[in-house]
Structure 1
Amino acid sequence: MSVLLLRLAGPMQAWGVTSRFTVRDTEPAPTKSGVIGMLAAAVGRRRTDPIEDLLSLSFGVRKDQPGSVIRDFHTARTLDGKTPMPLSNRYYIADAVFLAGIEGDHSLLEGLNEALRRPVFPLYLGRRSCPPTQPVSLGLRPAPLLAALQDEPWQASQWFQTRRHGAFKAEVLIDQDAVPVTERRSAYASRDVPHSFDPRRRDYGFRQVERQWVEVGNAHPDSHDPMAELEEAQECS
């Protein structure tokens, strides 16, 4: 087994699980369904194509730069410009960086790694309005999923690392099955396992997600931000 690591970063991201009708919500971190959808797009699969091989992959994500949730009051019209569409509130994560990992068969991951570097369909971070920065793939690692997420260098933006003064406690969300029993701490259920992306019969199942924390080091310990102390003083006042 190997692990393929992804750096999911961009101006905006949106990872919906419970979005309905006029409220299009987002989870605070990438979902398994969203990342599998991106992998399927990279290899050129359409929504009606089977994804059983991708569902065999274990998934985890580390929140290196959590970002902030923003709301877009969305209006739209039909192409003729005459018929108004329903108003909606759409939520996004702005200015975030996540380290995601997928674990599985080495040959399958090699093909996905190559596809991410030369995707058939455009890649996006949950919604089509959210393109990722490049490169998305960080390559393969010969380690278990949890260890790979714990050991990979901090992927946050330099300004974020600088303002954290050398260290950051990053949250890790990972398939419980990918965590040794002796290291399991707390888990919750998430309905983001995509049994089918077919618009005629979209179907999602549940998975158990383990929540852990890991200290990540600052790649720029000598950098100095003259505004950091001022911002901290304002936050405390």
Structure 2
Amino acid sequence: MAVVALRLAGPLQAWGSGSRFVRRGTETAPTKSGVVGLVAAARGVRRVDPLEELLSLRFGVRMDQPGRLLRDFQTAQRPEKARDGTVTWKRLPLSHRYYISDAVFLAVLEGDRTLVEGIDSAVRSPAFPLYLGRRSCPPAGPVALGVFDLDLDAALSELPWLASTRTQSRHRNRTVRLETVRDAAAEGTGAETLRDEPVSFDPNRRKHAWRSISRDVVEIPNPHGVHDPTGEHDPMASLGG
């Protein structure tokens, strides 16, 4: 087994798992269905094509820079033509759309090495445009980080912090604690369930199954940290001598 790591960063991201009608929400972290959809687009898989090969992947995400929740609203009108040929415009219901702004996530997919190497290659030269949950959310910068001989848990715990330099500099400690969301281990029971396991992206029979997820916190080195929170505070250290 090996993992392929992805950097998901952009001005806006939207990872909905239960959006309906005029409210389009977003989860606080990338969803498995959204990331598998991104990978499928990179590999040239069309919405009506089967996803069997990608369904074997184990998924996890680390919130390196959580960002902020942003709400947008949209108005629209629809033309209606009367019998006499005149056209009137009917106002459609106001829709509310939620996004995550200024966020950076580490997404990791674990699977057969040949499969994850193919994913890494496809993401570097995608067949279809990549987007972060919605078409209006393109990624900022390269997405592919490479293939690593690690399992999912080790990758989330060991790969470098991906937050911006400015964000890292704000944290003075030498380590930072980051939240993770991952597929629950097969032998364990997930603390939560989410309808986020992609089965089919076919618009005529779109289907998602339930998956168990576990949440955790990992401690990652901060390359810009100067303070060790585990050590004793010495108020005279800054005076030198």
SS in 2 for 1:177: coil
Unaligned 5+ segments in structure 1 are: 223-237
Instruction: Find the aligned partners of 2:75 and 2:221 in 1 and give their Cα distance.
Output: 43
Structure 2 counterpart of 1:111:
118
TM-score by length of 1: 0.87
Deviations 1:159-218 (A, max 9, x none): 11111213321011111127xx6xx79621111011111111111101110111011221
> Against the structure 1 CA distance between its residues 175 and 218, is the aligned structure 2 distance closer, same or farther, given a 3 Å change threshold?
same
Structure 2 counterpart of 1:235:
none
Structure 1 counterpart of 2:5:
5
Instruction: Find the aligned partners of 1:187 and 1:91 in 2 and give their Cα distance.
Output: 25
> Rg larger in 1 or in 2?
2
CA shift for structure 1 position 77:
4.0
Is 1:75 the counterpart of 2:75? The answer is: yes
TM-score by length of 2: 0.85
> Against the structure 1 CA distance between its residues 15 and 162, is the aligned structure 2 distance closer, same or farther, given a 3 Å change threshold?
same
SS in 1 for 2:182: strand
Structure 1 counterpart of 2:84:
none
Is 1:204 the counterpart of 2:211? The answer is: no
Instruction: Find the aligned partners of 1:194 and 1:201 in 2 and give their Cα distance.
Output: 12
Structure 2 counterpart of 1:187:
191
Paired residue type of 1:123: L
> Against the structure 1 CA distance between its residues 79 and 219, is the aligned structure 2 distance closer, same or farther, given a 3 Å change threshold?
farther
Instruction: Find the aligned partners of 1:156 and 1:79 in 2 and give their Cα distance.
Output: 46
Instruction: Find the aligned partners of 1:83 and 1:12 in 2 and give their Cα distance.
Output: 30
- Map 1:38-49 to 2 at 5 A: 38-49=38-49
The answer to whether the 8 Å contact 1:185/1:212 transfers is no
Is 1:130 the counterpart of 2:137? The answer is: yes
Instruction: Find the aligned partners of 2:189 and 2:207 in 1 and give their Cα distance.
Output: 29
Matching residue within 78, 100, 104 for 1:97: 104
Matching residue within 176, 196, 220 for 1:216: 220
The answer to whether the 8 Å contact 2:189/2:212 transfers is no
The answer to whether the 8 Å contact 1:185/1:211 transfers is no
SS in 2 for 1:34: helix
CA shift for structure 1 position 53:
0.6
SS in 2 for 1:12: strand
Deviations 1:64-119 (A, max 9, x none): 11111010011234599945443200000001100010000111111111110110
Structure 1 counterpart of 2:231:
none
Unaligned 5+ segments in structure 2 are: 81-87, 227-241
Cα RMSD after superposing both structures: 1.9
Instruction: Find the aligned partners of 1:68 and 1:51 in 2 and give their Cα distance.
Output: 32
Structure 2 counterpart of 1:31:
31
> Against the structure 1 CA distance between its residues 218 and 40, is the aligned structure 2 distance closer, same or farther, given a 3 Å change threshold?
same
Is 1:177 the counterpart of 2:181? The answer is: no
CA shift for structure 1 position 21:
0.4
Instruction: Find the aligned partners of 1:29 and 1:134 in 2 and give their Cα distance.
Output: 19
Structure 1 outlier segments of 4+, above 6 Å:
none
Instruction: Find the aligned partners of 2:69 and 2:14 in 1 and give their Cα distance.
Output: 9
Paired residue type of 2:67: G
Paired residue type of 2:100: I
Instruction: Find the aligned partners of 2:76 and 2:112 in 1 and give their Cα distance.
Output: 43
Paired residue type of 1:171: E
Structure with greater helix share of residues: 1
Aligned sequence identity (%)? 55
> Against the structure 1 CA distance between its residues 85 and 41, is the aligned structure 2 distance closer, same or farther, given a 3 Å change threshold?
farther
The answer to whether the 8 Å contact 2:67/2:104 transfers is yes
